[in-house]
């Protein structure tokens, strides 16, 4: 054991489970390495809402003392603090829930534990997975936002505190922080993964997401949640057919985003992929307003209890959204729901013959300042369409800040999207 070339906290989940299987190190050694790195960095980064090192070591020793429990045996995972955990507080980034202890685990947490993962701790979330930020900073520049709302999960994975973390996306809460922090962020198809024990932000949009530093790890965790070795099937057999879709937001993107997309396009073409420019019907632009309306209405209803019992503990920013939501006429809400449903029926036309779409992920690099977690427009468009999307940390700005690209899959075609992403990840990087 010991004497490894690479510190254990820098290994992927796949490497960790392989190393444990070969007896190269123990789960306890993994957790020790992660905790040591967190101790060194957490004061700067602020990625964790709750961390009990001793309790994590108890989980580790328990795993070391028994047989291999499952495909994530010994893998430390960070859990966004909007998922219930029976053995840790779940505070949702809100003083309303200071010290709150749920009676059970969210289903995804229970499935991770059953697969052998060590639930290392709870990562910082913006207030109720919204726009009011927590304490986390960007690991590449502490003066910049890490993005949100899954701020702590993105930062913790980017900083090698954990190989894998969970998030949730209602607008752009997984892909935006992943792009800003320089890691992979995967939002499966709406409905693909159980949300039991997730505090809903907006029920018809909320989707469980995964942060990791490799496609292998995204696939490993996805397989645990779907109960099937779906995503681990490796690369696509043939060069993918990719639609290059600038979207109606292209003109609002900074040069680092447009440059990353154009560069990725060129590299993928050079590697043998077929790329075709895909135009987006003008009607898709209406999805931004529809998403805002649905988000406000459903958030208000989701927070009826907090609104009526703890209003003074809700941030001003969220209160404005909730007040808008409660004031939204049901017919307007239902109009937005029907508009979104109708636009989803146009996805076949949008994709055409393409396996996936290559689209911008963020307006640009992580903005300076910690008051805003950035603009969710580039991600929210796809969230309301319910399609699977993934961001890959393929590019950087001139001054070395990460800027991810985004791949979008057809509805419920998550497996194929991950296979294409694996192919793209190996070829699109500019670094």
Enumerate binding residues for a copy of itself (CB under 8 A).
86, 97, 100, 102-111, 113-114, 191, 194-197, 199-200, 203-204, 226-228, 230, 298, 301-309, 326, 328-331, 334, 337-338, 412
For a copy of itself, give the closer residue by CB, 289 or 332: 332
How remote is the C-alpha of 81 from its chain's centroid?
13
β-pairing, 241-244 vs 274-277, is parallel
With tokens 């590019």, the residue in question is 395
Min dist CB 311 to a copy of itself, Å, is 11
**CB nearer a copy of itself, residue 26 or residue 107:** 107
> For tokens 């070395």, what's the residue?
400
**Is there a catalytic annotation at residue 149?**
yes
> Which residues 6+ apart lie within 8 Å of 204 measured at CB?
190, 294, 298, 337
146/290 Cα distance (integer angstroms): 26
- Of these residues, 12, 94, 168, 173, which one is catalytic? 173
d(CA 307, CA 279) in angstroms, rounded, equals 42
Closest approach, Cβ 357 to a copy of itself, in A, equals 21
Nearer to a copy of itself, 69 or 135 (CB): 69
| Residue 396 φ/ψ, nearest 5 degrees | -135, 155
Asked about 173 being catalytic, the answer comes back as yes
Minimum distance, C-beta of residue 406 to a copy of itself, in the bound complex (Å): 23
Catalytic member of 14, 80, 187, 199: 80
Identify the DSSP state of 75: -
CA of residue 173 relative to chain centroid, distance = 6
Nearer to a copy of itself, 37 or 299 (CB): 299
* Min separation Cβ 44 and a copy of itself, Å: 32
Reduced to 3 states (helix: H, G, I; strand: E, B; else coil), residue 404 is strand
Q: CA dist 45 to 37, 49, 74, 151, 338, Å?
A: 11, 11, 24, 10, 42
Closest contact distance (angstroms) between CB of 130 and a copy of itself is 14
Considering 12, 107, 149, 204, which one is annotated as catalytic?
149
Task: Give the residue among 90, 81, 77, 86 at the shortest CA–CA distance from 105.
Answer: 86
Question: Could you give the CA distance from residue 310 to residue 307 in angstroms, rounded to a whole number?
Answer: 6
Residue whose token pair is 């890959």: 392
- Report the nearest approach of a copy of itself to the CB of residue 334 (Å): 6
- Closest distance to a copy of itself from the beta carbon of 327 (Å): 9
Q: Look-up: residue for tokens 């996306």?
A: 169
The candidate with the shortest Cα–Cα distance to 150, out of 171, 117, 142, 140, is 171
Burial pattern 200-217, b for ≥16 Cβ within 10 A else e, equals bbbebbbbbbbbbbbbbb
By beta-carbon proximity to a copy of itself, the closer residue of 2 and 329 is 329
Q: How far is CA 145 from the centre of its chain?
A: 15
In which order are the strands placed within the sheet that holds 274-277?
Answer: 48-51, 118-123, 76-80, 164-169, 207-212, 184-187, 389-396, 402-409, 356-360, 241-244, 274-277
Residue 105 or 375 with smaller CB distance to a copy of itself: 105
Least separation in angstroms between residue 322's CB and a copy of itself is 12
DSSP class of residue 408 equals E
Catalytic site positions? 80, 149, 173
């Amino acid at each position: 054991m010991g004497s490894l070339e690479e510190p254990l906290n820098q290994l992927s989940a796949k490497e960790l489970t392989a190393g444990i299987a070969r007896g190269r190190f123990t789960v306890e050694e993994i957790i020790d390495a992660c905790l040591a790195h967190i101790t060194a960095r957490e004061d700067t980064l602020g990625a964790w809402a709750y961390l009990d090192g001793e309790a994590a070591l108890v989980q580790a020793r328990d795993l070391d003392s028994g047989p291999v429990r499952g495909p994530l045996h010994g893998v430390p995972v960070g859990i966004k603090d909007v998922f219930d955990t029976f053995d840790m507080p779940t505070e949702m980034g809100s003083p309303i829930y200071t010290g709150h202890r749920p009676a059970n685990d969210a289903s995804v947490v229970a499935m991770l534990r059953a697969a052998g993962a060590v639930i290392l701790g709870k990562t910082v979330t913006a207030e109720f997975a919204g726009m009011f930020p927590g304490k986390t900073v960007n690991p590449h520049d502490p003066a910049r936002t890490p993005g949100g709302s899954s701020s702590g999960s993105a930062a913790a994975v980017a900083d090698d505190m954990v190989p894998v973390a969970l998030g949730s996306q209602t607008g752009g809460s997984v892909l935006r922080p992943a792009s800003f922090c320089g890691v992979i962020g995967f939002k499966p198809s709406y409905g693909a993964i159980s949300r039991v024990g997730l505090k809903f932000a907006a029920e018809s949009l909320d989707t469980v997401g995964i942060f990791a530093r490799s496609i292998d790890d995204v696939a490993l965790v996805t397989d645990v949640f779907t109960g099937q070795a779906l995503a681990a099937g490796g690369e696509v057999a043939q060069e993918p057919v990719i639609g290059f879709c600038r979207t109606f937001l292209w003109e609002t993107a900074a040069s680092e985003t447009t440059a990353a997309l154009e560069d990725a396009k060129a590299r993928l073409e050079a590697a043998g992929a077929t790329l075709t420019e895909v135009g987006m019907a003008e009607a898709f632009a209406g999805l931004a307003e529809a998403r805002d309306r649905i988000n406000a209405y459903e958030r208000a209803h989701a927070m009826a209890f907090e609104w009526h019992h703890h209003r003074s503990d809700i941030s001003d920013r969220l209160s404005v959204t909730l007040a808008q939501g409660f004031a939204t006429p049901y017919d307007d809400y239902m109009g937005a729901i029907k508009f979104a449903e109708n636009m989803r029926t146009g996805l076949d036309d949008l994709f055409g013959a393409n396996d996936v779409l290559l689209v911008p992920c963020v307006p640009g690099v992580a903005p300076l300042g910690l008051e805003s977690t950035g603009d969710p427009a580039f991600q929210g468009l796809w969230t309301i369409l319910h399609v699977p999307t993934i961001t890959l940390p393929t590019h950087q700005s001139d001054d070395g800040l990460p800027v991810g690209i985004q791949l979008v899959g057809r509805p419920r075609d998550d497996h194929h999207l991950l296979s294409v992403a694996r192919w793209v990840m190996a070829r699109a990087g500019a670094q």
